[in-house]
């Protein structure tokens, strides 16, 4: 029995889905890192995972973008000032570049390049913020135990 090889379109769709899933997982990890101190402002996982729904994902992305910012600000208010000096501050800039690229590229295809640049830039930014939060929490725990 012979099986047909999947078309290239299906392979591309699966790869895009995997990239989106890993991106959302990085957002989930950041949210979980931020919830250590403030349980009340935690973002619903529904908002995070609804970014996989086509077309709805753009609205969900913007909501998540600003909900993470709100949770980050609450986190900074609830933690010590010594710890906050070592934390890389969360910014919505790269996320807004991505959203602007999505909107503008519909009218000016040349601006399509803004979409992957904004997406990758935001992903890297999320990683750096999460890493700085973990390091700050670790150093704070070391100071408490010494």
Residue environment code for 24-43, b if the CB has 16+ CB neighbours within 10 A, otherwise e = bebbeebbebbbeebeebeb
pLDDT above 70 coverage of the chain, percent: 89
pLDDT 10s digits, 7-42 = 878 888 899 999 999 999 999 999 988 876 555 567
pLDDT averaged over the chain?
A: 87
Query: What is the arithmetic mean of pLDDT over 113-123?
Result: 95
The span from the CA of 30 to the CA of 28, in Å, is 5
Inform me whether the pLDDT recorded for 81 exceeds 80.
no
Rounded-to-5 percentages of helix, strand, coil across the chain: 75, 0, 25
Neighbours of 62 (CB within 10 A): 15
């Amino acid at each position: 029995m012979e099986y047909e090889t999947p078309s290239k379109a299906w392979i591309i769709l699966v790869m895009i889905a995997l990239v989106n899933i890993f991106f959302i997982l990085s957002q989930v990890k950041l949210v979980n890192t931020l919830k250590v101190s403030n349980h009340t402002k935690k973002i619903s996982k529904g908002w995070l995972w609804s970014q996989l729904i086509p077309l709805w994902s753009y609205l969900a992305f913007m909501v998540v973008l600003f909900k993470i910012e709100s949770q980050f600000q609450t986190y900074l208010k609830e933690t010590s000032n010594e710890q906050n000096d070592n934390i890389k501050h969360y910014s919505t800039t790269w996320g807004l570049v991505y959203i602007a690229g999505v909107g503008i590229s519909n009218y000016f295809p040349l601006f399509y390049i803004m979409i992957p640049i904004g997406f990758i830039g935001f992903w890297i930014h999320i990683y750096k913020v999460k890493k700085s939060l973990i390091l700050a929490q670790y150093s704070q725990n070391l100071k408490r135990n010494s």
